[in-house]
């Protein structure tokens, strides 16, 4: 039985075995506490870790949060959209959303300058995030290169960046996803997508 390979086309092995190995619980256990979402209905999102703790906090009126990331690698594609759809669901549930842009990682692994990585984040990712319905005004966003304990003060996008993103929402509102069409679905090959939420996506290395 092959191991899960996030970069290849190998047949995926026994999901139940992998879930037990990594401590992943079936999403069905908390499905009735979640918004009605096609990813759950279609068994695309089929596992979680400690999501019940988050839902308990929500139900008790406590604050809760989710975090994901952007590793700028190229044009926005369906794999990214799968992540955005989950971010949007969490935001609608009332989560405090944090998005980190890994411009240093892109500099080290993608042979691009920090400036190029930051521009790609804005033009290809944040604009499409806005176009797909993410409320960026209520997102804690920062670049990895500027992060620190005071990142809320130092690395929030400038108002000019947010205006660019809002302009992008108008520009791409017909259908913002362009380029590759590989989706993060059960058993399919995944091209380089962002870090997801704590729900497990097949082929994810995070």
What is the band of 130 on the pLDDT scale with cuts at 50, 70, 90? very high
Chain mean pLDDT for the chain: 75
The encoded tokens of residue 116 equal 């190029």
Domain definitions of the chain by residue range: 15-171
If you classify domain 15-171 with CATH, what class do you get? alpha beta
**pLDDT value for 57:** 93
Please indicate whether residue 174 or residue 103 has the higher confidence score (pLDDT): 103
Q: What's the pLDDT tens digit per position in 156-196?
A: 554 455 555 544 444 332 222 333 222 223 333 333 333 33
CA gap 47, 74 in Å, rounded: 28
Residues facing 139 on adjacent strands: 97
CA gap 158, 167 in Å, rounded: 14
What is the band of 31 on the pLDDT scale with cuts at 50, 70, 90? very high
The label of the residue with tokens 């406590």 reads: 62
Q: How far is CA 116 from CA 106, 164, 195, in A?
A: 9, 16, 20
């Amino acid at each position: 039985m092959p191991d899960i390979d996030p970069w290849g086309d190998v047949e995926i092995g026994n999901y139940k075995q992998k879930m037990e190995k990594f401590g992943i619980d079936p999403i069905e256990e908390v499905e009735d506490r979640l918004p009605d979402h096609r990813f759950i209905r279609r068994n695309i999102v089929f596992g979680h870790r400690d999501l019940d703790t988050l839902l308990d906090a929500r139900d008790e009126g406590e604050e809760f949060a989710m975090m994901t990331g952007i590793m700028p690698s190229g044009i926005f594609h369906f794999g990214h959209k799968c992540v955005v759809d989950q971010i949007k669901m969490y935001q609608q549930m009332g989560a405090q959303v944090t998005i980190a842009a890994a411009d240093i990682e892109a500099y080290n692994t993608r042979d691009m300058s920090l400036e190029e990585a930051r521009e790609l984040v804005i033009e290809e990712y944040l604009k499409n995030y806005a176009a797909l319905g993410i409320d960026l005004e209520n997102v804690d966003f920062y670049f990895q290169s500027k992060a620190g304990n005071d990142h809320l003060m130092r690395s929030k996008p400038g108002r000019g960046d947010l205006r660019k993103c809002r302009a992008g929402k108008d520009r791409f509102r017909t259908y913002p996803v362009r380029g590759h069409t590989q989706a993060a679905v059960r058993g399919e090959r995944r091209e380089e997508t962002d870090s997801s939420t704590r729900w497990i996506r097949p082929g994810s290395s995070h």
